[in-house]
Structure 1
């Protein structure tokens, strides 16, 4: 199980003043030195945080897994193929949203992904992951497309207001992870995870490979420092007994 740190909101802080700092590439280097296995970034159409230049610099400086989150537009396909990250994670994207609000609607995107998107990567070594909710039908369609991995959307779990709601979502995530694993896909997870809700996820959900954490980690780093905060998340991942069933 690997921790991938999303550095988008380091760029958000930089862009607030239009200065060159804090630099998301420098933050990525600190995270990897602290033990993170790689870096995640989301290059949006409006470039609200990560810029195109950041993407190329991250490719140059990141030593571990580089995960390029993106909408499946022709522009992003062209950029991702030029950059050649280890992994692309295809996500839904709308201009008005503050952050990604849910998983892909696989029934809606299936034909387009089959005929346009997936064929674009046949001649590359770039792995493809789909950001989806833990729905049986969506996971099945991801497998039919030949996706290398899925990233389970953990936002509904993270935002559940009651313990009953959290347990219900953990059950859904567990079932989704088992299904994806049995279908031969890697199981990644992310969205809304923090120091309080990470441990129950790791305890209950099997087969987790990459866990992507960004906003909460960067927020905690304002108080505790980036190095220490990465190590806090890693400590949870390393000391939590993981289920295998």
Structure 2
């Protein structure tokens, strides 16, 4: 059964980025999570990186205790992050690739190539009551690997589509969107729940939201940036409106 209403997960990492630029307590990413809930978000996403460049361990502890929305804990597949996830017991854990030198996540996880490393980690998280997702490219081999690993959810990387759109390469962007659409269809046929995210903005979200197999989008950096100009709540409400418009366009 295809999803009717598309869920919005709001990533609050870059509220913490602004806080950490100066130090201290402000702006508070947990306050941003509460604002996101008021604005209609369906969940909160936070990525605790190895170098703690934005979200901190204390942020994760507070989010786990203080917000009512489901917490999606983005994490690298390391023993350190596994231990934190087991203690925090988030609703979901999205396993992402991570390199110290990258500014942001640059591509999908190689679920196929890291099978032996990922399999026990995914099983441990699942046994602890956390729903595991894998952040992967829109590639059938990676979707097959997710099934083999026992991950019930995947999140398709939309960064390349957004970059091509932003560069004005409409033809290439359309081809990439088709690739995402086909991967979502294939993932659902395999029995996976399919999400998408990375780089989405007002002018790119509707095309992705129109893919009926998707059940959730995770969006953060753009919302935090737009919040500087129109307020975070207003930015989230506008994103919600555009997602709903995109989803409505897909209905027969």
List runs of 5+ in structure 1 lacking aligned partners: none
Take 1:62 and 1:189, find their aligned partners in 2: how far apart are those partners? 23
Q: Normalising by structure 2, report the TM-score.
A: 0.94
Aligned to 1:219: 225
List runs of 5+ in structure 2 lacking aligned partners: 1-5
Aligned to 1:112: 117
Counterpart pick for 2:194 among 162, 187, 192? 187
Q: Does 1:155 align with 2:162?
A: no
Q: How much does 1:22 deviate?
A: 0.1
Aligned to 1:237: 243
Aligned to 1:11: 16
Q: How much does 1:121 deviate?
A: 2.2
Aligned to 1:171: 178
Q: What value does the CA root-mean-square deviation take over the aligned residues?
A: 1.2
Relative distance call for 1:235 and 1:122 in structure 2 (3 A) is: closer
Q: How much does 1:239 deviate?
A: 2.3
Take 1:227 and 1:121, find their aligned partners in 2: how far apart are those partners? 32
Contact in 1 for aligned 2:209/2:244 (Cα 8 Å): no
Contact in 2 for aligned 1:24/1:54 (Cα 8 Å): yes
Contact in 2 for aligned 1:207/1:244 (Cα 8 Å): no
Counterpart pick for 1:206 among 212, 217, 242? 212
Relative distance call for 1:105 and 1:14 in structure 2 (3 A) is: same
Contact in 2 for aligned 1:92/1:104 (Cα 8 Å): yes
Q: Which runs of 4+ in 1 moved over 6 A?
A: none
Give the aligned length.
243
Q: How much does 1:75 deviate?
A: 0.6
Q: How much does 1:244 deviate?
A: 6.7
Aligned to 2:3: none
Take 1:216 and 1:227, find their aligned partners in 2: how far apart are those partners? 13
Contact in 2 for aligned 1:190/1:212 (Cα 8 Å): yes
Take 2:10 and 2:128, find their aligned partners in 1: how far apart are those partners? 24
Contact in 2 for aligned 1:150/1:188 (Cα 8 Å): yes
Take 1:23 and 1:176, find their aligned partners in 2: how far apart are those partners? 37
Q: Which is worse superposed, 35-44 or 120-129?
A: 120-129
Q: Normalising by structure 1, report the TM-score.
A: 0.96
Task: List per-residue Cα deviations over 1:216-237 (Å, max 9, x = no partner).
Answer: 0100000000111110000011
Task: List per-residue Cα deviations over 1:74-99 (Å, max 9, x = no partner).
Answer: 01001001101110000000000000
Contact in 1 for aligned 2:30/2:62 (Cα 8 Å): yes
Task: List per-residue Cα deviations over 1:150-171 (Å, max 9, x = no partner).
Answer: 0000001000130111111111
